[in-house]
Amino acid sequence: MAQSSITGDSITAALKDRIKAVHVEITDISGGCGQAFTSLIVSPEFAGKSSLKRHRLVNAALKEEIAQIHAWSAKCQTPEEWEKENAATGGNDGPPLDGTASGEVVGVNQ
C-alpha cells in the first residue's frame, strides 16, 4: 500500500484550525503507512452536542483527509469532560485502540 500524505500532525493541525480543538492525540494504527488512525479530540465546539453530532462535526472538518485514509476512529470530548476523566483516571492513557493489538490493526494482512 502506498504511503499516505496524511499524518497525525496534519490531522492535528486541521482539527485545531477547523474545530478549535484544544487537545488532540492521534495514533497511527496502520503500521506506519498512514492509512488508519484513532484519536482523542477535545474541543469546546462539542459542548451541548450528542456523540453523533460531535462525530459528524469532526468528519465534516476532516472530509478531505478521511477520504484519503482507510480507517478513522475518534473519541470526542469537551474540555470539561476530558478534565473530569483525567482526574478520575489519574491521567489520560491516550486514544482508544479498539480493534488493535499492541497498536497494530487486527485482522489486516499487510
Average pLDDT over residues 8-37: 92
Tens-place pLDDT, residues 30-82: 887 778 999 999 999 999 999 999 999 999 999 999 999 989 999 999 999 99
* Structural domain total, the chain: 1
Which of 36 and 95 is assigned the larger pLDDT?
Answer: 36
Q: What is the pLDDT of residue 96?
A: 57
Domain of 39: which CATH number? 3.30.300.90
**Any domain includes 102:** no
Instruction: Give the domain extent around 66.
Output: 8-86
**Any domain includes 30:** yes
**Any domain includes 39:** yes
CA gap 39, 96 in Å, rounded = 7
pTM: 0.76
Strand partners, 71: 36
**Any domain includes 67:** yes
Grid coordinates of 96: 482508544
